[in-house]
Structure 1
Amino acid sequence: MRLSISITNFSWRDERQGLEEHLVSIAEAADHGGIYGLWVSDHLLQADPYGAGPGETEMLEAYTTLGYLAARTSRIRLGTLVSAVTFRPPALLVKAVTTLDVLSGGRALFGIGAGYQGEEAAAMGLPLPPVPERFDRLEETLQIALQIWTGDTSPYHGRHYTLDAPVGSPPPVSRPHPPILIGGTGEKRTLPLVARYADACHVFDIPDGGKTVRHKLAVLRALCDDLGRPYDQIEKVIATRLQPGESTASFVTRCATFADLGIDHVSVITTGPWTTEGVGTLVEAADQIVALGAAASAGPS
């Protein structure tokens, strides 16, 4: 089982250290501590679901941040959780992810979704078409990304996007391409896109005894079966929150329940900005959580 941290809040308030120093200390602690991945939110306005209070407004542009962190780390994977498909034209988004992958030595993760923040879009003048159109654009963007990453420069003609010669040079270091994670669990549009195009899905830690996660994964398995795609090719990622003051033992126990549900990767957010102490809890838990995944894969003895 893999373990990653998701940074949703950049509002560190400390007279001794600035935002950049806090961000680097978190990234370096995760990198040195063996954490698999680091995600950042792709927003222009603060969107922390567990913000500690008013005034937490700092938000960095995602791909500039990831490029900077790529230079300050050596092994941790880097991506957005997730980029709204309407924020950037497909070729620009694919180029940003590819550039991150090339300059980081193959460490990029491609997190993408249909987008949902109406207030942010209105405030900042960002496009947010109706839901059906956003999903159409999401599928076309996935098709464009895969075409570019295979080196196919033939014209692409979709309903919303036309590329006369989609050239991707240099190509990504990752082979066959940076792993694609599609955010969301909708059964009509999102999970079918996961089954067809993605390397990872993204579900949520809902306090219902695992009922929702089991259901969503069962739907995904059926969709894969219909396509003739091996279900195990798709990594199952769950988002959970590290509780304030939570112990390593408590967190490992929670991850054990995720392993029992068939989860391969735990992405962790926290209340407010991350602290080095919070990352330390994950680092202490990392080896045990990797072992949980191995035990789950082995099955009963």
Structure 2
Amino acid sequence: MNDQTLRSPIPTHSTNSINSTNSAQFGWEIPNGNRRMPSDIREYIPRVRRMLDRISGHFHSAWIPDHFMNDRQDNFPESLTTLSYLAGLYPNLHFGPVVLGQNYRNPALLAKMAATLQMLSGGRFVLGLGAGWHVDEYRAYNFEFPGAAARIAQLAEAVQICKLMWDPAQPTATFHGQHYRVDGAACFPKPQPPPPVMIGGAGEKLMLRVVARHADWWNLVGVSPETYARKIRVLENHCAGVGRNPAGIRRTWMGVVSIAATRRQAEAALARYPIWPEDVAIVGTPEEVTARLREYTALGVDLFIVAFADEPAFDGLELFIRDVMPEFEV
């Protein structure tokens, strides 16, 4: 699938996916749940819009996690509803979920929803999908939660159903899988072009094989350059096994950036930000952040989806736009 019409030009990766120009695009992670949510939900959209107003014209995209609840009763706006609203307000930005739990929504209905959002946004939607993992949500919402291998197999089938339903050469889609099936399912209007499918996941035995077979884009969350490099080697082996050139899969990274005039200030901001213990943030002065980002671009990563540790303040964002982003322009 060719997604070049969905984003401003980025140099084409070579066959070994090395980003020789160190160019990159940037996306912003929209708050959802425990990450940077205002205590008063009435402040949510004004706060998000202030940030989107500032990044519009600089950033490529905005992304929202797909979760429903936690044990603290934090506010969790539904992801696709929120993206649909925001995409109509910001025509300069692309939008996507990062990433949807594949079995939170029937895959045929999901294909229809994605096609509609792609049409309404004028081709600015990216369908981010993962296998799903938050067992408490599954149980609370009465979704089935099979084992990891089954959920990953479901993910592969869901992507196939979406792409079949979007195919302009196929008036209807019929697919009989082990987990999902559709019989003569139609999806009109067909999305033109079909949205890229970004698969999020790092499991080396099963998940990366699904990425090799089905992903247009690939997302890893909070991993170091060293870990990313190891995952690339595994992915390349899977690509060889399925006869696919790995250069055809766009590499993306998502995580936290804590940037300030001094490293001490950046570390202090990160200490106040809730991240998973295993996640690796990008921390430091503009020079240090730039150098760290270049470690990823050297691996072929050309889209970074970031949250700033000092949000809702704009200090980190402003410093990033002024002193870091020019180093990665095409």
Give TM-score, length-normalised by structure 1. Answer: 0.84
In the alignment, structure 1 residue 7 sits paired with structure 2 residue 30: yes
String of CA shifts for 1:248-291, please: whole Å, max 9, x gaps: 33322221121123322212134485544443344323232235
* Conserved? CA contact 2:258–2:310, under 8 Å: no
String of CA shifts for 1:206-251, please: whole Å, max 9, x gaps: 35xx322111001111222233322111111112311264443332
Tell me: CA distance 1:71–1:127, structure 2 relative to 1, closer, same or farther (3 Å). Answer: same
Tell me: CA distance 1:270–1:97, structure 2 relative to 1, closer, same or farther (3 Å). Answer: same
- Name the stretch that deviates more: 259-268 or 181-190: 259-268
- Name the stretch that deviates more: 251-260 or 100-109: 251-260
In the alignment, structure 1 residue 157 sits paired with structure 2 residue 176: yes
Separation in 2 of the partners of 1:123 and 1:276? 36
What is the SS of the residue equivalent to 1:241?
A: strand
Q: Which amino acid aligns with 2:28?
A: I
Structure 2: give runs of 5+ residues left out of the alignment.
1-23, 261-265, 267-284
What is the SS of the residue equivalent to 1:243?
A: strand
Deviation at 1:10, TM superposition (A): 5.5
Separation in 2 of the partners of 1:14 and 1:161? 40
Tell me: CA distance 1:255–1:136, structure 2 relative to 1, closer, same or farther (3 Å). Answer: same
User: Superposed, which structure 2 residues align to 1:1-301 within 5 Å?
Assistant: 1-8=24-31, 9=35, 11-13=37-39, 18-32=43-57, 34-45=58-69, 57-151=74-168, 152=170, 153-173=172-192, 175=193, 177-207=194-224, 210-243=225-258, 245=260, 246=266, 247-271=285-309, 274-284=312-322, 285-291=324-330
**Count of residues paired in the alignment:** 278
Deviation at 1:56, TM superposition (A): 7.7
String of CA shifts for 1:91-125, please: whole Å, max 9, x gaps: 11112211111111100011001000012222333
String of CA shifts for 1:111-160, please: whole Å, max 9, x gaps: 00100001222233333222222112111101101101103214221122
Q: Which amino acid aligns with 2:294?
A: A
Separation in 1 of the partners of 2:310 and 2:77? 15
Deviation at 1:14, TM superposition (A): 7.1
Separation in 2 of the partners of 1:277 and 1:56? 29
Structure 1: give runs of 5+ residues left out of the alignment.
48-54, 292-301
Give TM-score, length-normalised by structure 2. Answer: 0.77
Tell me: CA distance 1:243–1:112, structure 2 relative to 1, closer, same or farther (3 Å). Answer: same
CA RMSD of aligned residues (A): 2.3
